[in-house]
Structure 1
């Protein structure tokens, strides 16, 4: 069984560093403090998701089939991977519009009927 480098401490979940490298052929060892790449810090589930995502060239329908999950779950998993890699996830224009409509509804600026029409795109 192939052993993988751990990216996070199993006790406190802090990022780990590699401190020794060794050649299997000549046994040369190098001691130091080496940073791992961003992908090393992903969870096993996130790594599996990235692999399936790449295999399917980002085709959401194929990812849904391979993983047996819904579109919103694919999007949520992708957002989690993006954030774990250190990038911010920006909501889509549609998500922002829905949030605005719901906020106006909660403030009483829209009736439930008006909000429903806007959410359905009926303006």
Structure 2
């Protein structure tokens, strides 16, 4: 017996049925998958469409893969996270030195 409950509308479904792996994804992950598929897996195109950096695309893709139950190479994900953290620090240092405005820093941080 399977029971599904929606926290938003308080609806519960109970019966013998199976869900797909994609039912495990958050709305944000589903949006990412839609863009990824529309771009035919072209990471550069995903970067452009979502205005995010390469490490962010990879991190979101890894998140989707993990949610779908696939094994993710953690060492690659950790390296991408390290690069992302270094970019954040660099942006904040540039802001602190007055090389960029707060608005520029916010825009750049959102794209990571």
Residue in structure 1 matching 2:39, options 56, 74, 90: 56
| Alpha-carbon contact 1:18-1:34 (below 8 Å) kept | no
Which structure has more helix as a fraction of its residues?
2
Structure-2-length-normalised TM-score:
0.55
Does residue 86 of the first structure (1) align with residue 69 of the second (2)?
A: yes
Superposed, which structure 2 residues align to 1:8-87 within 5 Å? 10=7, 18-19=13-14, 32-87=15-70
Structure-1-length-normalised TM-score:
0.51
Q: How far off is 1:33 after superposition?
A: 2.0
Q: How far off is 1:49 after superposition?
A: 0.4
Larger Rg: 1
Q: Distance in 2 between matches of 1:89 and 1:53?
A: 17
Change (3 A) 1:91 1:65: same
Q: How far off is 1:69 after superposition?
A: 0.5
Q: Give the number of aligned pairs.
A: 72
Where does structure 1 lack aligned partners over 5 or more consecutive residues?
A: 1-6, 12-16, 20-31, 99-123
Question: Alignment RMSD, CA only?
Answer: 2.6
Which runs of at least 4 in structure 1 moved beyond 2 Å after TM superposition? 7-11
Where does structure 2 lack aligned partners over 5 or more consecutive residues?
A: 80-112
Q: Which has the higher contact order (CA 8 A, sep 6+)?
A: 2
